[in-house]
């Protein structure tokens, strides 16, 4: 069995096009650009259909990394998994998290499982396949491929599956119509939820959390079907799913551990504490442990209530519910973690129970 070492670097950004922090770390030798496997980021856009900060951030990173890798920017985007989540409402702070991976010898005396990462891509989807069984099935295949890439065999060792998925635009809807096909919705904004939901169900199928006989009509309707580790984000910049699996493996020699919990709603502080405690960072942190980052999903409860009290996130015509949810959950997690530089993504359809969502924590061991 090959042994790999995973590196993680959290870099603050001054704007969606800011690559100076990453380039500085590459210049100093702290990061080997050839070892970069994935970059997850929070950008300060609105997180909606017309949030071009995500595409801008990816373009800036690809352009900056291209000469370092001897590739074209387009080739860089195929080599590295980029997942940009728009929306840094409230105290959330824009940043990127860079994941590297390289071959390594397992140090003598290293016991247990350590953080491992794997990546895979689906094929490109037709517009009419988004939010439907084709996206679910292909995502499930990609999750299994990413697990294999990470050296993870037991689904119980998967703690977070981050997916970037497509959305519909008017041009894409028209292209489907021209072929005599109908898309799941004609609304670009609604398509984000359908794509996120189908992708999350694909994670659940791959990990055995959900039976494989999921139907088209289950998406955004059967909220009793969900994955406890899926995190999906929609974007205009692609037509396939990018899948990143984070979990634990004996094949990893990294200095990091990962754990997770599931928030039952947007104010589930005990779940966040449980996730922190899973890596030794609870109320009384264990010595030699340092927080690297927290990754979480957030959504406005679709029934319009949080613990018996009405919320208005779904009825605000000025601010989308995903922005409300990111601000609320981001504030909760930031307060418990002591930092606003955390990855909180809005829109948690089939990602945890309705109104809740998964929360994963990575710690560095010294």
pLDDT tens digit string along 113-147?
A: 999 999 999 999 999 999 999 999 999 999 999 99
pLDDT tens digit string along 235-251?
A: 888 899 999 999 999 98
- Helix or strand or coil: residue 193? helix
For residue 1, the model assigns a pLDDT of 54
- On whether 348 is known to bind a ligand per the annotation, the reply is yes
For residue 235, the model assigns a pLDDT of 87
| Mean pLDDT, the chain, whole residue set | 96
- On whether 352 is known to bind a ligand per the annotation, the reply is yes
| Domains, the chain | 4-103 (3.30.1330.170), 114-245 (3.30.1330.180), 255-365 (3.30.1330.160)
- On whether 227 is known to bind a ligand per the annotation, the reply is no
Over residues 65-93, the mean pLDDT reads: 96
- On whether 286 is known to bind a ligand per the annotation, the reply is no
More confident residue, 301 or 108: 301
pLDDT bucket at 356, cuts 50 / 70 / 90: very high
- On whether 146 is known to bind a ligand per the annotation, the reply is no
- On whether 351 is known to bind a ligand per the annotation, the reply is yes
Give the predicted TM-score (pTM) of the model.
0.94
Provide the annotated active-site residues: 164, 233
Kindly state the helix (H) or strand (E) to which residue 290 belongs, with its residue range.
strand 289-298
Q: Answer for the pair 158, 152: CB distance below 8 angstroms, yes or no.
A: yes
For residue 104, the model assigns a pLDDT of 78
Q: Answer for the pair 355, 300: CB distance below 8 angstroms, yes or no.
A: yes
27, with CB counted inside 10 A (0-12, 13-18, 19+), is: exposed
List, in order, residues 6 or more apart from 84 with CB less than 8 Å away: 16, 40, 41, 42, 43, 53, 54, 55, 57, 58, 164, 233, 235
Query: Residue 153 pairs with which residues in a beta bridge?
Result: none
* High-pLDDT (> 70) share of the chain, %: 99
For residue 48, the model assigns a pLDDT of 87
Kindly state the helix (H) or strand (E) to which residue 170 belongs, with its residue range.
helix 170-178
- On whether 215 is known to bind a ligand per the annotation, the reply is no
CA angle, 196 then 291 then 202, to 5°: 20
Over residues 286-309, the mean pLDDT reads: 96
pLDDT tens digit string along 17-55?
A: 999 999 999 999 999 999 999 999 999 999 988 999 999
In this predicted structure, the answer to whether residue 75 has a pLDDT above a threshold of 60 is: yes
Rounded CA-CA distance 273/285 in Å is 11
Backbone φ, ψ for residue 360 (5° rounding)? -120, 145
For residue 326, the model assigns a pLDDT of 97
- On whether 345 is known to bind a ligand per the annotation, the reply is yes
**Long-range pairs for 207-212 at CB < 8 Å and ≥24 separation?**
207/143, 207/155, 207/158, 207/161, 208/155, 209/155, 212/140
For residue 148, the model assigns a pLDDT of 96
pLDDT tens digit string along 321-333?
A: 999 999 999 999 9
Over residues 165-178, the mean pLDDT reads: 97
């Amino acid at each position: 069995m090959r042994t790999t070492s995973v590196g993680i670097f959290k870099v603050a950004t001054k704007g969606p096009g800011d690559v100076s922090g990453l380039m500085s770390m590459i210049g100093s030798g702290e990061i080997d650009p050839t070892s970069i496997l994935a970059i997850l980021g929070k950008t300060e856009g609105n997180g909606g259909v017309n949030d071009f900060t995500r595409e801008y951030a990816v373009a800036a990173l690809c352009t900056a990394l291209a000469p370092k890798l001897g590739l074209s920017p387009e080739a860089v985007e195929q080599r590295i998994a980029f997942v940009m989540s728009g929306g840094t409402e409230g105290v959330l702070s824009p940043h990127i998290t860079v994941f590297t991976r390289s071959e390594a010898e397992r140090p003598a005396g290293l016991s247990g499982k350590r953080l491992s990462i794997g990546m895979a891509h689906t094929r490109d989807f037709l517009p009419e396949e988004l939010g439907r069984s084709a996206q679910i099935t292909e995502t499930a295949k990609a999750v299994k491929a990413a697990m294999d890439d990470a050296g993870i065999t037991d689904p119980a060792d998967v703690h977070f599956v981050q997916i970037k998925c497509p959305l519909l635009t008017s041009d894409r809807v028209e292209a489907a119509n021209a072929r005599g096909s109908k898309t799941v919705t004609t609304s670009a904004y609604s398509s984000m939820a359908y794509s996120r939901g189908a992708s999350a169900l694909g994670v659940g199928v791959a990990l055995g959390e959900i039976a494989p006989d999921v139907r088209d009509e289950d998406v955004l309707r059967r909220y009793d079907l969900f994955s406890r580790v899926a995190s999906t984000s929609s974007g205009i910049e692609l037509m396939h799913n990018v899948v990143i699996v984070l979990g634990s493996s004996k094949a990893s020699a990294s200095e990091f551990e990962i754990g997770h919990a599931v928030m039952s709603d947007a104010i589930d502080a005990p779940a966040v504490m449980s996730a922190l405690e899973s890596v030794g960072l609870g109320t009384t942190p264990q010595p030699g442990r340092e927080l690297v980052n927290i990754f979480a999903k957030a959504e406005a409860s679709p029934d319009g209530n949080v613990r018996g009290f009405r919320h208005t996130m779904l009825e605000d015509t000025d601010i989308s519910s995903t922005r409300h949810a990111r601000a609320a959950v981001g504030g909760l997690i930031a307060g418990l973690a002591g930092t606003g530089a955390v990855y909180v993504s809005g829109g948690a359809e089939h990602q945890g129970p309705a109104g809740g969502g998964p929360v994963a924590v990575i710690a560095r061991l010294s």
